[in-house]
Chains A and B, each alone.
Chain A
Amino acid sequence: MSMMMAQSKSESQPIPVTPPRAAVAPGIKMEAKGLKAWFGKSQALKGIDLPLAENQVTAIIGPSGCGKSTFVRCLNRMHEVVPGAHATGTVTLDGADIYGAGTDPVLVRRRVGMVFQKPNPFPTMSIRENVLAGLRLNGRRPADAAALVETSLRQVALWDEVKDRLDRAGTSLSGGQQQRLCIARALALEPEVLLMDEPCSALDPIATARIEELIHEIGQRYTIVIVTHNMQQAARVSHYTAFFYMGELIEHAPTDRMFTQPSNPKTEDYITGRFG
């Protein structure tokens, strides 16, 4: 026994320390400062200051109507598309204000892609055409379309499932596959930031797990902002979490800390289910 113990001691290696998800302080890819947004006279955001860490996943949580979807739609100038909607304050992308004079919203949206709640492949297009649709709408013709389709579909782990039926309609796929197709369509434009507005709320648990796995994968190369009603999902996929309530940012913290030791009592009440 003592020999075994001595042997195991001599062979023992230092136990690797599991680093927290955000082990290295990342840079700031985007940052909102004093961001206010309105729908007509109704104010949806009341002055948000929130940095978004580069190549990290930030989850936005909060009850319905708290402004979380409005916030992400301000990040790629989609908010102003709604009639009567406007925003003030600044949102920087690599330090440059995307609301600055002369900034083309189309160029902003190319760099800041978006995936929506309900999978929305173009119904009249094939799987292949759907992947290329974003590029074509932007007037770009890729040098090697076939390679781009394959790369984009591989990034979302859909290639092996659809490589033999690229000409079939995008809508012939299951809901989870359609959502991954929509993510592939967004990634084909090579964005730097990907906004995901409740991307799994219409999916079953298996399809949800695949999307979450995908977020882990691509989250190392893209700055991702995900809006979710599912707090367990926020806890699973994100490095940072921001809690919005009634148009205000209540707390922004590393996710591990947010779900074990939130500092604001409103956050505590919301995530433990004590609201309403």
Chain B
Amino acid sequence: MRAPHTDREYEAELALLRQRVRAMGAIVREMLVGGVRALVDGDTVRAQAVIDRDEEIDRLEVELDEQCLRVLARRQPVASDLRLIAATLKLVTDLERMGDLCGSLCERVIELAAAAPQTPAGSLPLMAAAVEAMVLDAIEAFVTGDAGLAEQVLTRDDLVDSYFAQLLGELFADMMAQPAAIYRATRLTSVAKYLERIADHATNVAELAVFMVNGEDIRHRHRSRAPRI
């Protein structure tokens, strides 16, 4: 456990920053878990509740940005403090985009429910579970400063990409077999793409966690390309 800063006000400022990062991460986690549950259950009420939480994410993004700038201007942080601020400035963008993608996912859930409620078949639940676990662990790694957990998250993006490729194949096959499935399949294709993007943002968060802890920039070393649609 590192000693606190001699300047207790500075220590409190950084503690507040970490607290807000934790809160923003918790909301993103809840949005993703709620969105996946709404998708599996065809639950439009839950989906709308997730969409409504996006405002909280947007507010925290602005607040955290402002707080980071204040610390930079007033404290001139260095070393691990500087890495915390630099990483947080990037993290909030990833978290905000994850929130947006959860919102988009829930919009598709509402459209799907209005058309013909059906349990999504195939690889989608497996993919959703893998993405959920990545997001939970990436955020946990960042807020607790666990570089080992972050490194472990980075190894899982390939699995999500392979689920994504598999799912696209299943959905294209559905569409070719029965044109009536096109409306549903195109929305599920979008959902799969959102999940794949969320996993990419989780990868970014894990990379930021490693940078914050070790000062090592490991971006672009772990990426394999997801199929483009």
Interface residues of A (CB under 8 A from B): 231-232, 235, 259-262, 267-269, 271-276
**B3 nearest CB across to chain A (Å):** 5
- Contact, CB under 8 Å: A259 / B78: yes
Residues of B contacting A269 in the complex (Cβ-Cβ under 8 angstroms): 2-3
- Contact, CB under 8 Å: A260 / B10: no
Report which residue of A268, A274, A276 has the largest number of chain B beta carbons within 10 angstroms of its beta carbon: A274
Residue ID in chain B nearest A275 by CB atoms: B6
Residues of A contacting B6 in the complex (Cβ-Cβ under 8 angstroms): 273-276
Besides A235-B78, A260-B83, 9 new A-B residue pairs in contact (Cβ under 8 A), listed by A number? A232-B76, A260-B79, A268-B79, A271-B78, A271-B79, A272-B77, A273-B7, A274-B5, A276-B6
Report which residue of A231, A235, A260 has the largest number of chain B beta carbons within 10 angstroms of its beta carbon: A260
Residues of B contacting A272 in the complex (Cβ-Cβ under 8 angstroms): 5, 77-81
- Contact, CB under 8 Å: B2 / A274: yes
- Sample 8 A-B pairs with CB under 8 A, ordered by A number: A231-B78, A259-B82, A260-B79, A268-B80, A272-B79, A272-B81, A273-B5, A273-B6
- Contact, CB under 8 Å: B215 / A260: yes
Please tell me if B169 contacts chain A, counting CB pairs below 8 Å: no
- Contact, CB under 8 Å: B79 / A262: yes
Chain A at the B interface: SS class: loop
Residue ID in chain A nearest B82 by CB atoms: A260
Place the interface of chain B in its size category: 10 to 19
Residues of A contacting B2 in the complex (Cβ-Cβ under 8 angstroms): 269, 274
Please tell me if B4 contacts chain A, counting CB pairs below 8 Å: yes
Residue ID in chain A nearest B77 by CB atoms: A272
Residues of A contacting B4 in the complex (Cβ-Cβ under 8 angstroms): 274
Residues of B contacting A276 in the complex (Cβ-Cβ under 8 angstroms): 6
Residue ID in chain A nearest B78 by CB atoms: A259
A267 to B82 CA separation, bound complex (whole angstroms): 14
> Which of chain B's residues 1-23 have a Cβ closer than 8 Å to chain A?
2-7, 10
- Chain B 123-151 interface mask (CB, 8 Å, partner A; 1/0): 00000000000000000000000000000
Residue ID in chain B nearest A271 by CB atoms: B78
With A260-B215, A261-B215 as known contacts, state yes or no: A274 contacts B3, CB within 8 Å. yes
Residues of B contacting A267 in the complex (Cβ-Cβ under 8 angstroms): 79
A261 to B213 CA separation, bound complex (whole angstroms): 10
Q: Which 6 A-B pairs have the closest CB atoms?
A: A261-B215, A259-B78, A274-B3, A273-B5, A272-B81, A271-B78
A169 to B80 CA separation, bound complex (whole angstroms): 49
A235 to B2 CA separation, bound complex (whole angstroms): 23
- Contact, CB under 8 Å: A273 / B10: yes
A273 to B74 CA separation, bound complex (whole angstroms): 14
Residues of A contacting B5 in the complex (Cβ-Cβ under 8 angstroms): 272-274
Residues of B contacting A275 in the complex (Cβ-Cβ under 8 angstroms): 6
Residue ID in chain A nearest B216 by CB atoms: A261
A259 to B76 CA separation, bound complex (whole angstroms): 11
**A65 nearest CB across to chain B (Å):** 17
> Which of chain B's residues 184-215 have a Cβ closer than 8 Å to chain A?
215
> Which of chain B's residues 154-175 have a Cβ closer than 8 Å to chain A?
none
Report which residue of B3, B10, B78 has the largest number of chain A beta carbons within 10 angstroms of its beta carbon: B78
Residues of B contacting A274 in the complex (Cβ-Cβ under 8 angstroms): 2-6
A267 to B78 CA separation, bound complex (whole angstroms): 11
Report which residue of A232, A259, A272 has the largest number of chain B beta carbons within 10 angstroms of its beta carbon: A272
**A273 nearest CB across to chain B (Å):** 5
A231 to B78 CA separation, bound complex (whole angstroms): 10
Residues of A contacting B77 in the complex (Cβ-Cβ under 8 angstroms): 272
Residues of B contacting A260 in the complex (Cβ-Cβ under 8 angstroms): 78-79, 82-83, 215
A268 to B80 CA separation, bound complex (whole angstroms): 8
**A272 nearest CB across to chain B (Å):** 5
Residues of B contacting A261 in the complex (Cβ-Cβ under 8 angstroms): 79, 83, 215
Residues of B contacting A268 in the complex (Cβ-Cβ under 8 angstroms): 79-80
Residues of B contacting A259 in the complex (Cβ-Cβ under 8 angstroms): 78-79, 82
Report which residue of B10, B79, B215 has the largest number of chain A beta carbons within 10 angstroms of its beta carbon: B79
Residue ID in chain A nearest B2 by CB atoms: A274
Residue ID in chain B nearest A268 by CB atoms: B79
**B78 nearest CB across to chain A (Å):** 5
**A261 nearest CB across to chain B (Å):** 3
A232 to B78 CA separation, bound complex (whole angstroms): 9
A232 to B77 CA separation, bound complex (whole angstroms): 10
Residues of A contacting B3 in the complex (Cβ-Cβ under 8 angstroms): 269, 274
A261 to B78 CA separation, bound complex (whole angstroms): 9
A235 to B4 CA separation, bound complex (whole angstroms): 22
Residues of A contacting B80 in the complex (Cβ-Cβ under 8 angstroms): 268, 272
Residue ID in chain B nearest A232 by CB atoms: B76
**B138 nearest CB across to chain A (Å):** 22
